[in-house]
Structure 1
Amino acid sequence: MNLDSTALFYQRMQQSWLKAIGIIRLVAGGGGTPLFAGVVLIGLYFGYKRFLEWMPSSFPAGLLTGLVLSLLLTSSRIRTWIKPADPVFLLPAETKMNGYFRASLCYSSLVHIIHLALALLLLSPLLAAGAPEDRSPLWLLFALLSLAQILNVLIEWQSMRLLCKWSRRKIRGIAFLRFLLNFLWTEASMDRQWVGLLVLFCIMAGVWLGQVAVTPAFPLPWDELKKQEQRLLARYYHWAGWFVDLPAVQQPIRRRHIWVRIADRFTNYRKNPLLYLYWRHFFRKSELYAVFFRLLLWAIIMMALFPNPWVIFGIYLAASLMLFSQLPALIDANSYPAALKLYPLPKAAFKNSLARIGTVLSGMQALILTMVIAGFHWLSFAGTLLFLAYGLILSMIMAGLKKRSVPPQK
């Protein structure tokens, strides 16, 4: 089988980037997207500036910077653009795929180094404000961290190759060891401890060479590469889906035993099978599960940056609108087996189930944000109670509106 695997990789990379540019243009052309992005960036800028002004001299800026950079170095995902059919059609050419994955490692290293440069630029004011004058200059720190980033990508690739031989617990242990080594490397790079850097380099290189020595030449981790690519694509689509409607990406099913048990306990599948099915879909496969928690995090950050009572009420309103705008995806018949259409249930049952889920999620959102507001004293006691009542009433009103606006299932 004649195959130029390197050319195949760059062909897929070009197709992916062209598609990504199209999605970015759709997102940027959205009605409120530029305004929303501008408000968020301005808010983050002033919040960061206020934090730097408040930061005392004893604040562990170097420690915080080291933790952030260590997490960034450890999270060295490898982009391969492996498609679902590749384990079947490319398996005969497995021995000729070295060029493909070599190009993948080079591309992934370059992308992670660019992320590292952006992170250093963002963290440089924090590092300059809390670091002594004898710390490494930014260019030297970037060069040393880039070297560590390349080693992390190589170790991550060998860890994926060893999934056919080692348990996932052992692979996670290697990842935790990398995090500790990356933290020590970051601290030694900032303090220019050359002996420590040499020792750490030998340890990380030894880990990589040890993995290479025990890694079998074949088979390649096709299933893991396919699943990782699907998760990565799903994450990108989730973020873009906040602003524009995009076709769904096949999302892997997750167990989430605790949440599913709670849903099973409080939902009677005999009396309301649709509600039972939707809750399980929400926890195990739905994109809304991640959106719900991201909206919570976004609302908390924005409330912390602008602790004004009217702004807090407006932020909660915006978060609720964004949550309810995503809810119809939960009852999309394309996400369920065709047997769902044969259920002998009235059309209103689909809307009623969706409205109940929307009420519960929005109520939970209001309750969690109220607890955060009370803990940080952003509002008075009376204002906190008023916010809770406002959130619960708003959730019921919006659930009723969503119930009437969703078209019936076909």
Structure 2
Amino acid sequence: MLNAQELWRNRLNHHSKEMGRYLRLMFNDHFAFAMFFFLAGLAYVYQQWLADLPEGFPSALVIAIILGLVLTYSPIRTMLKEADLVFLLPAEAQLGSFFRNGIIYSYITHLFTLLFIFVALGPLYFTTYPERSGSDFLVLGIVVVVFKAWNILSHWWEINSRVGWTGYIDPILRTLLNGLTIYFIVVGNAWVFAVITTLLFFGVMMYDYTLAKRRRGIAWDLLIEKEQARMQAFYRIANLFTDVPHLKKTIKKRHWLVGLLKSPIPFQQDQTFDYMYRITFVRSSDYLGMYVRLLVIAGALVYWVPNFWFQLGFAFLFLYMSGFQMVTLWHHHKQLEWLDLYPVPLERRKQALLKWLFQLMIVKTFVLGIVFLLLWNLIGVAIVWIGGAIFSYVMVYKYLVHRMN
């Protein structure tokens, strides 16, 4: 007879080891220092912003939107594998405790993120409502914790109902009702409306439960698909720091961008890897998105942070992060043995990647300098453009070249 509890413990133990192995590689000394500086800078910016919080700022609406979205996003970890659709499906009746443990585990892990965001919103809450006591904020916290459990249960029943339209309508309804309930509680004088939206949310949850009970079974294929998608998302992040053999590569065409980047490359043998790394950067699902996100975040921080030295710090920090993460392009084609058949020396391949990394960092340096120019901070423009160019050269040709070796 199948022991569901033992199966769950084995799956959880394997999952913890898998995550721990990659997390240790991701949070190395360099990245940990960068994250510490980033969080410290955000805390400083947040504190300065609260000190100058404009009168009439819609704090209740902002808190409601943030918490509403965080409450709605409630993926469930089941630790299922593709082969389970064949080997465990016949024993579905014995796996009640297995799936129950998955729901409880998901709830506990989500609580860490939820409580971190909730505590971070505390200063905004008390700045806007200085007359409120800690007990008022505690009541809001209890509501948030309860609603998180309801959202996870509702999502579980919605998946197993297999009713296609609920996958689109249900998250929208839950986000709306989550946000409205939080908003009415934060406002403080609309408790009647908060009770109404709570009852409506409970009604949506019970409707999901009814649909799931009619189905009478577990949606194995959907749960496995979602579990694999979450693991692949984690692997894509980990792949920016180390080689991940479990990662399934996804390719996007992006014809216009490919044409734009390959047009300057001459049709010559020694330009083979110049072409390849540019195409890989654009068409892979890992690199272009990360590069653009880091650029947008860096530009926003430089523009909004009031302190000049923090602005410079963020500019150079994100330059460093871009170079550090893009160097994983070197290992992107590690499994393709036919690359060794190219009549191009290995040293030329290294030069092609280093040249492309340097160009990427120079582009980011130029854009960040434009942000300083918009602020009419000419000293910042000079420091970022000159210092950023020197920093990019040293990092690529002195530091990243050793990481490639």
Fold shared, TM-score > 0.5 on shorter chain: yes
2:57 maps to amino acid? F
> Counterpart in 2 of 1:49?
47
The change in CA–CA distance for 1:388 and 1:89 in structure 2 (over 3 A counts) is: farther
> Counterpart in 1 of 2:225?
224
User: Is the Cα contact below 8 Å between 1:144 and 1:189 reproduced in 2?
Assistant: no
Q: Percent identity?
A: 23
Q: What is the CA–CA distance in structure 2 between the aligned matches of 1:146 and 1:280, rounded to whole Å? A: 46
User: Is the Cα contact below 8 Å between 2:315 and 2:384 reproduced in 1?
Assistant: no
> Counterpart in 2 of 1:96?
94
The 5 Å alignment of 1:320-331 reads: 320-331=319-330
The change in CA–CA distance for 1:404 and 1:22 in structure 2 (over 3 A counts) is: closer
The change in CA–CA distance for 1:26 and 1:237 in structure 2 (over 3 A counts) is: closer
> Counterpart in 2 of 1:307?
307
Q: What is the CA–CA distance in structure 1 between the aligned matches of 2:400 and 2:233, rounded to whole Å? A: 33
The change in CA–CA distance for 1:267 and 1:80 in structure 2 (over 3 A counts) is: same
For 1:67-104, what per-residue CA distance to the aligned partner results, in whole angstroms no more than 9, with x for missing partners? 21112112212222233543444344344333222211
2:246 maps to amino acid? Q
SS of match in other structure, 1:357? helix
Q: What is the CA–CA distance in structure 1 between the aligned matches of 2:26 and 2:260, rounded to whole Å? A: 40
User: Is the Cα contact below 8 Å between 1:274 and 1:353 reproduced in 2?
Assistant: yes
Alignment TM-score, normalising by the size of structure 2: 0.80
2:231 maps to amino acid? Q
The answer for unaligned runs of 5 or more in structure 1 is none
For 1:103-162, what per-residue CA distance to the aligned partner results, in whole angstroms no more than 9, with x for missing partners? 111221222233222222211111011127468711111111122212211232234335
For 1:388-409, what per-residue CA distance to the aligned partner results, in whole angstroms no more than 9, with x for missing partners? 455456545655557965768x
> Counterpart in 2 of 1:319?
318
Q: In the alignment, does 2:381 pair up with 1:384? A: yes
Q: What is the CA–CA distance in structure 1 between the aligned matches of 2:323 and 2:123, rounded to whole Å? A: 38
Q: Tell me which of 199, 205, 209 is aligned to 2:202.
A: 205
Cα deviation for residue 64 of structure 1 reads 1.5
> Counterpart in 2 of 1:11?
10
Q: What is the CA–CA distance in structure 2 between the aligned matches of 1:211 and 1:127, rounded to whole Å? A: 33
Alignment TM-score, normalising by the size of structure 1: 0.80
Q: In the alignment, does 2:177 pair up with 1:177? A: no
Alpha-carbon RMSD across the aligned residues, in angstroms, is 3.6
Cα deviation for residue 381 of structure 1 reads 3.9
The 5 Å alignment of 1:82-231 reads: 82-131=80-129, 133=131, 137-161=136-160, 165-166=163-164, 171-190=167-186, 191=188, 193-215=190-212, 216=215, 217-220=217-220, 221-231=222-232
Q: What is the CA–CA distance in structure 2 between the aligned matches of 1:53 and 1:389, rounded to whole Å? A: 34
Q: What is the CA–CA distance in structure 2 between the aligned matches of 1:69 and 1:256, rounded to whole Å? A: 33
2:258 maps to amino acid? A
For 1:41-61, what per-residue CA distance to the aligned partner results, in whole angstroms no more than 9, with x for missing partners? 443333222222111232222
The change in CA–CA distance for 1:22 and 1:393 in structure 2 (over 3 A counts) is: closer
The change in CA–CA distance for 1:210 and 1:337 in structure 2 (over 3 A counts) is: farther
Cα deviation for residue 340 of structure 1 reads 2.4
User: Is the Cα contact below 8 Å between 2:372 and 2:381 reproduced in 1?
Assistant: yes
Q: What is the CA–CA distance in structure 2 between the aligned matches of 1:283 and 1:81, rounded to whole Å? A: 32
1:237 maps to amino acid? A
Cα deviation for residue 254 of structure 1 reads 4.3
Cα deviation for residue 183 of structure 1 reads 1.0
